[in-house]
Structure 1
Amino acid sequence: MRWPFLCAVTVALFVAGGFPARAADVLVEAEAFEEHGGWRLDTQFIQTMGSPYLLAHGLGKPVADATTSVQIPEAGQYKVFVRTFDWVARWQAEGHPGRFQVAINGTPLETTFGTEGEDWGWQSGGTVDLPAGKASLALHDLTGFDGRCDAIFLTTGNEPPSNDSDVLSPWRRRQLGLTGDTAEVKPYDLVVVGGGYAGTATALSAARMGCKVALIQDRGVLGGNGSSEVRVWAMGLIRRGNYPRIGEIVEEFSDHATKSPGRAEEFVDDLKEQKVRAEKNIDLFLNHHAFTAEAVDGVIQSVDAFDVRSGALRRFTAPLFADCTGHGWLGEWAGADFEQTPVGRMGMSNMWRWDERDTPQSFPETPWALPLTMRDFPYPRDHHGQWFWESGFDKDPIGGAEAIRDWNLRAVYGAFNAMKNGDGADRHETAELTWVAFIGGPRESRRLMGDVLLTQDHIVNKHEFKDGCVPSTWSIDLHYPKKQYAEKFPDNPFISIAVHDRRIDRSYGYPVPYRCFYSRNVSNLFMAGRCVSVTHEALGTVRVMKTCGMMGEVVGKAASLCIDHTCRPRDVYEQYWSEMDELLQLPGVARRETVASKIQIPADVQPSAGPRGPMEGTDPAKMEGLIVDDEAAVIRGKWTVGTGLKGFVAHGYRYASPDSNASIRFPITVPAAGDYELSVLYCPHPNRGTAVPVSWAVDEVVQGEQRVDMQGEPTREPMEVTLSKLTLQANQKVWVTISSEGAGGTVHADAIRLNSIK
C-alpha cells in the first residue's frame, strides 16, 4: 500500500478539527485551510510530491489570503516550517516569483517563503511565541505568480521535518498516531477512476445498463481536458460507423465551444455534473484522489482514495474497474502491461487568453520567465494562446509533470511580458492577461496493453476487426516542436506543430476494436481514453475527447454484461459478443434498473444517425431545387473532407490546395424539360481562392467557364454564385467541374444547385 500519498493529507482532519497531532507539535495541511481565499487547490502532482497543495495563481496580481484556525496545545516558543519551494530555481532563473508570507495571529513572519530550494522541502520560518488555545493562520501572496504551499509545521522541538519523501509520510502519520486503516465504502459493480470524457461516459453508460457505479475524480469538476479548467474543445465525430448509436451519451454532456480555449461557461461543467448526479446508480466522488490499488494474481481487489480537501479515506471494492485516468495510473498500480514511447512523445499544453480593456493595464516585469521577444512565439490570434503552447516533448510525463507545467507558465508569462513590457508594448497598452490554465493538458504518457494493439497500419489500411465499435474520425495528429520557435530553447521548446496523416475516413470513421479497451493481463481492468491499447501513432487519432467518450460508452455496456454473466472483460468478446452487439445498437437513453431488468427505451428517442453520422449541415432534401452534394461527385487528385466551416450542405465539404492539380465533377440529371438556373454553393474563408475555375457542360458539351471568388469571412449560411441560365430537356446530363489550377487559394467544393425558373 502506498502510504506516502495517504498520510500527507490524513493529518489535516485532526489538526483542522482542533485536535493536535502530538503535544507541542501542530501540522496543518494547506488544503485543509478553512478558507482558500484566492489560492487554488492543485491536485495534479500528488503521485510525485505526495500531497495536494494551494497555488497562488493570480496572473501577476496577488490573490486573497487563505485562512484557517488551529489549536495550540501548550504555550511556548514554536519553530515554524513551511513546505514549499522556489518554482523557478530548477532553471537558475533570476528572481523568486512565488513569494508569500505566513501570518500567525495577524502578524506576518519575517521570513518570505517560496524563495529557497529547487524541489519541495521545508523552509524555516524562524520562531514565534504562542499561547495555548486557538491561533489563526494566513497565507499571504506577494506576487500572484504561482506561489505554492503544501503544509505548515509548528513545533517546540529542535528537529525540522525530514525532506526525504520516504520518511516524510510516515512522519506525518506519526504526528496523529494513525494506524493506516482505510474507511470502507459500499461495494460497487464498477469503479471508474478518472472523470474526463472517458470516465464520465463510462459511468453513465454502465449505470444506465444497471451497474452500481462509483466515479472517482480528483478535481472539483468533470470533463478533464474538456473542462473549464483546461478548455480543450471536444473533437472527434460521433454517432456513425458500425454502431451509430454510440456517441449519443457523449452528445448529452459535450461542450459546444467555438474556440479552444473558449469561455469557461462554454465547457458546461455544471451540465456534466447534473447528468451524472441524475443517475441513481452512480455515486460521484468529486475531489477524491485515487492513489493505490490492491491486486492479487492479476485481479484488482480494491482502490483507495482520499478526499483532497479533508483527507478522509475511502476504499472502493468491485468485481470490475475502469482506468480513465489518461496516465494509466490504475493499470500501473495493478501491474498491468503498458508501453510508453521513449522518444517522439507529445507534450502538455497550458493555454491562455488576454483581452482588451478600456483603460491602460499594467503587468509586472518577469525576469524569471522565459526571455522572449515578439519574434519568439506565434502572435495569440483572437486573443488566444491555443493548443500549440505545448512543451515537455520527451520529458518525463509522470515524474516531471510539475516541471513541464511550470515551464509552460514561464513561456506564457514571458510572452505576455514581451507584449506588455518588451518590443510589443506600443501595441498592447490596454491588454490584460485574463486566463492561464494552471491545470495542464497532457497528451501522452502510459498506454495499457490489451488483446489488440491498434497500429497506424490497421487504421490507414482499414483493417477490419470483428469487434470494431468506436469510430475514430480525427486525423493521425502527432505533435512535434515547431522548428521556427525551437532554436532559442532547443532542450525544451514550447511551441508545437501538428503533423497530420489524413488517411482517415472522416465520414464513417475507423472502427476501433473493443479488445483495445481491457487489459491483457489484469483480468478485471477496463480502460478508456488516452491510456488504451494503441501505438504512439494510433494514439494520434483516438486521443480526442469525443472519441475517448465513445470508448467509455462501450466499456460501460460491456461492464453490464460482465456483471450479468459473472465474467471478465475478455469473455464479452470471446463468449458474449452477440449480446454486446445488441447493446451497442441501443439508444444512449436506454436504461434498466439492474443488469437483469428489462431494458426500457423512451418513446421520444431520437432517430439513429446512420453509418455516416448525423447530418450536421443543411439537409439537401429541404433545400429549394435539385442539390448535388460533393459526396456524389467524381473526384480527381487530393481532396480533404472538412466540417469546420459552418453553413455546408449535408455531411461536409471538400477542399484542396491550389497546387494539387485536383478537380471534382458534379453530375446532374435534369428531372424535367424547362428553364433552369445553375449555381455553385461554397463556404467562404480568408484562405479560399479568389479565382477558382468552375466550368459546366451539357451532355459532355462545354457550355461555359467562370472564375469564382470564394474568399471572405466565414458565414453561418452557404454562399451561392450563379453560373448560368440553361434551357434543358428531361434526362439531359449536366456536369459542373471545379478545379484547382490558378485558383489563387484553397479550392472549396460543397454542392451544386439546379433550380427551375418558374
Structure 2
Amino acid sequence: MKSTFSAALAVLFCFFTSSLMAADLLVEAESFTDHGGWKLDTQFIIEMGSPYLLAHGLGKPVAEAKTEVTFPETGTYRVFVRTKDWVGQWNAPGSPGKFQVAIDGKPLEETFGTKGAEWFWHDGGTVDIENKDVTLSIQDLTGFDGRCDAIYFTTNTNATPPSSGSQLAKWRKDLLGITEDIKTEGPYDLVVIGGGYSGMGAAISAARMGCKVALIQDRPVLGGNGSSEVRVWAMGNIRRGKYPRIGEIVEEFADKAKKSPGTYEEFGDEKKEAIVRAEPNIDLFLNHHANGLEMKDGKIASITAFDTRTSQVRKFEGTLFCDATGHGTIGALAGALYDQTDKGRMGMSNMWRWDEADQETTFPETPWALDLTMKDFPYPRDHHGQWFWESGFDKDPIQGAEAIRDWNLRAVYGAFNAMKNRDGASKHKNAELTWLAYVGGPRESRRLIGDVILTEEDIVAKRDFKDGCVPSTWSIDLHYPKKEYADKFPDNPFISIAVHDQRVDRSYGYPVPYRCFYSKNVPNLFMAGRCISVTHEALGTVRVMKTCGMMGEVVGKAASLCKIHDCSPRAVYEEHWDEMDHLLKLPGQARRATVDAEIEMPDTLLPTSPYGPPSGINPTKLTGIVIDDRQAEKTGKWSEGTGLKGYVNHGYLYSGEKGAKVRFPIKIEKAGNYEIRYAYQPHENRSAQANVVVGIDTSRETTVINMKEQPPIDGGFYSLGVFTIKPGEETYVEVESRGDGNIHADAIQLIPVDEK
C-alpha cells in the first residue's frame, strides 16, 4: 500500500545502511504534478502493489510526465526505476515500452522498460546531482505502453530495494517515513465500493431513501465498463416485470451509445458524475482504491482506501457495505463465501477503433505483438474492434489481470500491424488507430454467495421466488474462444464467440431474487453487479450493465430499511418484505432527506412502463418458450388491443389491412422436436381463413385457422403441429392478412414434445 507523509510529491527519509548514513529519495510516479500524456493505471494494484503511469500512445510517443523534487543533498546517487518489459513474459522480440528518466531535461544513459518479465527495480546506474532542486521527468520513446511505478535515488551504492509483496510495501512505508496519517470519513449508513452501474444505482437509490452514502471509485470517472474508458454500451431492458419502476434511476445516467465501442461523448462521463454529485446524501470519492478493512463481531466495521494520485489514506466507517467491484474484492477481504469458475470463464475485452485519415499514414512495425495476418482475426467492421476481442478464459482474473490486458494489447497491435504493414497494407493506406481501451472490460471473476444461488435451471424453469425483483432480459450469454481463430494461439485465444440460450423472457424478464444481493455469512455486506450470488451459467444473463444497475437500486432501498429497523439485509427479506415491496414500487425520483422523513414524490412521474406486470396471462407461468407479439416483426399497419380477455402478457395485435404481416422469430439452443402453438382471441370480425405459416430453413408449412372460433387448447392456443428444429436454422411463425377480416396475433409457444 502506498501512503504519503504530506502533500509533498516526493518524501525524504534517511536511514543507516552498513553503519553509514545514506541519503535517499523515493518518488512515486502517480504523484507527478504533470502526467503529460501518460495515463494513471490503477487496475492492477492488488496484483503488483500500486498504481503506475502508462504511456498509452497507440504507437506515438506521449508527452513527458514531470515534477519538481528536492534532493536531501548534492552528490552521486544510484537510480532505480520500478518497471518491466511488458512483453518479456512471452519472450517476445523487442521491447515496446521503452522510456527514459531525465534530470533537468538530461536523460540518464540507461533506457528503461527493456528488462524484466515481472515488475522489478531496474538499475539505472548513477547520476551526479549538483543542485538539490531539480525537474524530474519520464520521457516515453515509443507510445507502446511503457510503464513506470516509482523512481528511487540513493547514495548507498550497495542498496537493493525489495521487489514485491509485503516486504516492498513495508519498505516503501519505512523509507517515506509514513506515520499513521489516516483520515476518517463517516460514519455512513452505506459505503458502496465500485462506481460502475451497480454501484451508482446503489448509491443513488440509498441516498434518495434517506441514507448517508459514501461512493468509492478507483478510476477518475464513473460508469465502469459503461464509461468512456471501456465503452461497453449498456444492455438489458429496464422498467418491467413485477416492479416496473425499478430501472428509472438507471435510465437517468445510462449511456445512449449506438455501437460498442462508441465515441467518448456517447458515454457521458460528466453527466454520470453530475447526477451523483447532485445528491446531497452522497459523498463521492473518485480515484480511491479500497484495499483493506476492519472486522468487528463478524461484521465489516470500516473500509480503508487510498487516493491513487496523492496516496492519502482514508478510513470509511459505516453500518452497511456494498461490494460493487465486479471482482468481489471487499467480500473476499471480509471472508465472505464465494465461488469462482477455474476454467472456461468469460474473459476480458479491450475494444478498439480505427478511422480514415485525409492522407496516407504509417504505423510502426510490431515484432513483439502477436504474429498476425488478415486471416487470423475478424475484420473490424464499421472501423470497430468489438466485444469479441476478448481473452483470459482460463487465466486468473485477479492475479493475472495485467497479463490478460497486455495480451489483448498485443493482439490488437498485431492486427493493426497486419492492416498497415502486411497483407492488408494496400487497402488501409489511410487507416489510423484512434482508440484502444487500456482499461480492461472484465466479465467474470469471484461470485459472492448469498442465501440464494441462482442457477440456469431456475431461470429456464421460471422458478418463482417470493423476492424476485430485478428483471433479467438478456439471454444466457456465455462466451467461449472462437475455434477458427483460437487454433493458432491455444494457450490464450483472443477472439470469442457468444453462445446464447434464448429461453429467457426478453420482454417481461426473469425476476432475480433479492436474496442474491447480500452475503450468506457476512451479515452487513450487500453485493450488486457481476459478483452477486449466481452460478457461472446464470451470470450469462444477469451480468449486463442495466440489469446490474437495477440490482443496485434494490440494494439501496433495502439499505434504508436496514437503517430504519437496525437490522441486517437478511432481515429485510425475512421480516420486512411488505415494506420492501412498497419501496420497490416507488418512482426512481422519489426521495426523503432522512430515513425518518416523509417520502416526497416527483412533480412529474415517468409514464407507466408498458412492460410492467402483465394485464393478461403472465408468459413466465407458461410452459416452454413463449414469444410475445411485442417481440415480433411487423409489416404494414397493426393496432394494439386489450379488449378481448385471455391474451398473453400486455395485449395483442390485430389488422385487417391486406398484406400486413407479423413474424415471430424463433431461436432455440437445443435441437429437438417442438410443438408450436399459436395464440389468438376469437371474434366475429376475425378472418375465417387466416393463413399461419411455420418456416424452417427452406421449408414452409401453412395452417388455416378460423379465428372466429374459440381456440381448442386452454389458454387460447391452437396447435400448428410438431416440428424438428435445429440451432442456427432460420425458423419463424408468420401470419399475413388477406383483407377478409381482422387477423389476430398474440403469441406463440414452443413446447419440447418430451416435456408435454
The TM-score with structure 1 as length reference comes to 0.85
Deviations 1:636-670 (A, max 9, x none): xxxxxxxxxxxxx999963559x999978685878
**Deviations 1:325-382, CA, capped at 9 Å, x for gaps:** 0000000111111111122211111111111122111110000001011111111111
Taking the aligned partners of 1:9 and 1:65, their CA distance within structure 2 comes to 24
How is 1:685-724 mapped onto 2 (pairs within 5 angstroms)? Answer: 699=706
Please list, as runs of the form range in 1=range in 2, the aligned pairs for 1:86-165 lying within 5 A after superposition.
Answer: 86-158=85-157, 159-165=159-165
In 2, Cα distance between the equivalents of 1:514 and 1:735? Answer: 38
Task: Provide the C-alpha distance between the structure 2 equivalents of 1:167 and 1:198, rounded to a whole number of angstroms.
Answer: 35
Q: Which runs of 5+ in 2 are unaligned?
A: 15-21, 615-627, 649-659, 709-717, 742-756
CA contact (8 A) 1:697 1:736 kept: no
1:102 partner letter: V
1:654 is the counterpart of 2:648: no
Q: Answer yes or no: is the 8 Å Cα contact 1:205–1:557 preserved in 2.
A: yes
- Per-residue CA deviations over 1:26-45 (Å, capped at 9, x if unaligned) read 11111111111110010000
Contact residue 634 and residue 664 of structure 1 kept, 8 A = no
Supply the AA of the counterpart residue of 1:74: E
CA distance in 1, matches of 2:350, 2:734: 36
Q: What displacement does 1:107 show? A: 0.4
1:109 partner letter: L
- 1:461 deviation in Å? 0.8
Structure 1 position 166, deviation (Å): 2.3
Question: Is the 1:81–1:125 Cα contact (8 Å) retained in structure 2?
Answer: yes
Counterpart of 2:570 in structure 1 is 570
Query: Paired residue for 1:247?
Result: 247
Are 1:231 and 1:260, in contact at CA under 8 Å, matched by a contact in 2?
Answer: yes
One-letter amino acid of the counterpart of residue 196, structure 1:
G
The aligned counterpart of 2:518 is: 518
Query: Alignment RMSD, CA only?
Result: 3.8
2:13 aligned to 21, 28, 34, which one? 21
Residue of structure 1 equivalent to 2:744: none
Q: In the alignment, is the contact (CA less than 8 A) between 2:420 and 2:428 conserved in 1?
A: yes
Structure 1 stretches of 4+ moved >2 Å: 8-16, 19-24, 610-621, 623-629, 631-635, 649-657, 659-674, 688-701, 734-737, 744-757
Residue 112 of structure 1 and its aligned partner are, at CA, apart by 0.5
In 2: Cα distance, 1:751 partner to 1:583 partner? 43
1:149-180: CA deviations, max 9, x gaps? 00111111221322143221111111232133
**What are the equivalent positions in structure 2 for 1:329-478 lying under 5 Å apart?**
329-478=329-478
Cα distance in 2, alignment partners of residues 371 and 20 from structure 1: 46
**Residue ranges of structure 1 left out of the alignment (5+ in a row):** 636-648, 681-687, 702-733
Any idea what SS the aligned residue of 2:183 has?
coil
Q: Match of 1:10, as an amino acid?
A: T
Aligned-residue offset at 1:749: 6.4
Cα distance 1:650–1:135, how it changes in 2: closer, same or farther (>3 A)?
farther
Distance 1:673 1:332, change over 3 A: closer
**AA paired with 1:55?**
L
The alignment partner of 2:310 has SS state of: coil
In 1: Cα distance, 2:377 partner to 2:510 partner: 35
1: CA distance, partners of 2:737 / 2:130:
86
State the partner residue of 1:284: 284
Contact 1:12 1:311 in 2 (8 A): no
- 1:115-154 CA-partner distances (Å, limit 9, x unpaired): 0101111111111111343100111111110000001111
CA distance in 1, matches of 2:167, 2:135: 29
Classify 1:691/1:538 alpha carbon distance in 2 versus 1 (closer, same or farther; 3 Å).
closer
In 1, Cα distance between equivalents of 2:311 and 2:186: 19
Q: 1:673 to 1:249 in 2, by over 3 A?
A: closer
Query: Shift in Å at residue 689 of structure 1?
Result: 11
1:263 aligns with 2:274: no
Q: Distance in 2 between matches of 1:557 and 1:236?
A: 21
User: Which position in structure 1 is the counterpart of 2:528?
Assistant: 528
Equivalent residue, structure 1, for 2:33:
34
What is the one-letter code of the residue matched to 2:81?
V
SS of corresponding position for 2:187: coil
What TM-score do you get using the length of structure 2 for normalisation? Answer: 0.85
Distance of 1:108 and 1:750 partners within structure 2: 72
Q: Aligned partners of 2:256, 2:630: CA distance in 1, in Å?
A: 16
1:263 CA displacement = 1.0
In structure 2, do the counterparts of structure 1 residues 471 and 652 end up closer, same or farther at CA, with 3 Å as the change threshold?
Answer: farther
Secondary structure of residue in 2 paired with 1:188: strand
Matched residue type, 1:380: P
2:80 matched residue in structure 1: 81
TM-superposed deviation, 1:583: 0.4
| C-alpha displacement of 1:211 | 0.2
Shift in alpha-carbon separation, 1:401–1:735, aligned structure 2, 3 A: closer
Preserved CA contact (<8 Å) 1:633 1:666? no
Q: How does 1:165-176 map to 2 (within 5 A)?
A: 165-176=165-176
Residue-pair matches, total: 698
Match of 2:190 in 1: 190
1:5-36 alpha-carbon deviations (Å, 9 max, x no partner): 2xx343584344xx533372111111111111
User: SS of the residue aligned with 1:14?
Assistant: coil
Asked if structure 2 preserves the Cα contact closer than 8 Å seen for 1:696 and 1:735, the reply is: no
Distance in 1 separating the partners of 2:489 and 2:637: 57
For residues 337 and 560 of structure 1, the distance between their equivalents in structure 2, rounded to whole angstroms, comes to 25
CA distance in 2, matches of 1:750, 1:200: 43
Q: Structure 1's 73 and 653: CA in aligned 2 closer, same or farther, altered over 3 A?
A: farther
Q: Secondary structure at the match of 1:169?
A: helix
State the shift of 1:748 in Å: 6.4
- Shift in alpha-carbon separation, 1:356–1:152, aligned structure 2, 3 A: same
Alpha-carbon contact 1:346-1:444 (below 8 Å) kept: yes
Q: SS of the residue aligned with 1:94?
A: coil
* Cα distance in 2 for residues equivalent to 1:495 and 1:122: 34
Q: Distance in 1 between matches of 2:171 and 2:719?
A: 81
